[in-house]
Amino acid sequence: MSEEISRDVILDVLEAMLSSGLRAVREAKRAAGTAPLRRRSPRKKSNIKLVEDILKAANQPLHVNDIIARAETDYGVQLRRESIVSALTKKVLERKVFRRTGRNEFALLEAEEK
């Protein structure tokens, strides 16, 4: 039975082989003590941490629409409204980090303590 091997299959096999080979080389270098320090890529901030930073910078309660707009302009991140409101509401109910100041308006808990 003769099958034609597609280009994608060949590329997938090559990718798996190269990845495995690279992993083996790095493991051998690590064992020999000559492995370079691994550089960590900068981690993406979570949406909640992003909102926390935005509210800290604003130093006042903000409506969710304002939070979304600032995330876009200041950080280049598009936040989904429903997702953010849900996450913030969850934190409000847990009494962690955020408090609700109005309909879809949030502030930091620490701002209340001052």
Which CATH number belongs to the domain containing residue 72 in this structure? 1.10.10.10
What mean pLDDT do residues 80-107 have?
92
Q: How many domains does the chain have?
A: 2
Given a contact cutoff of 8 angstroms between Cβ atoms, the answer to whether 26 and 35 are in contact is: yes
pLDDT 10s digits, 54-65: 999 999 999 999
DSSP, collapsed to helix, strand or coil, labels residue 46 as coil
Q: Is 16 exposed, middle or buried (0-12, 13-18, 19+ CB in 10 A)?
A: exposed
One domain, residues 32 and 57: no
pLDDT of residue 22: 87
CA distances in angstroms from 45 to 65, 71, 105, listed in the order given = 19, 11, 22
Say if residues 106 and 61 touch (Cβ distance below 8 Å).
yes
Q: 1 pLDDT exceeds 50? A: no
Q: Please check whether residues 29 and 52 belong to one and the same domain.
A: no
Examine the pLDDT at 29 and tell me if it is beyond 50: yes
The answer on 98 and 56 residing in a single domain is yes
Q: Kindly list the strands in the beta sheet with 105-108, ordered across the sheet, starting from the edge strand earlier in the chain.
A: 62-63, 105-108, 98-102
Q: Could you tell me the residue range of the domain that residue 15 belongs to? A: 1-39
Mean residue pLDDT across the chain? 85
- Please state, in angstroms and rounded to a whole number, the distance separating the CA atoms of residues 6 and 92: 53
pLDDT over 60 (residue 39)? no
Looking at the structure, tell me whether residues 61 and 27 fall in a common domain.
no
pLDDT recorded at residue 58 = 93
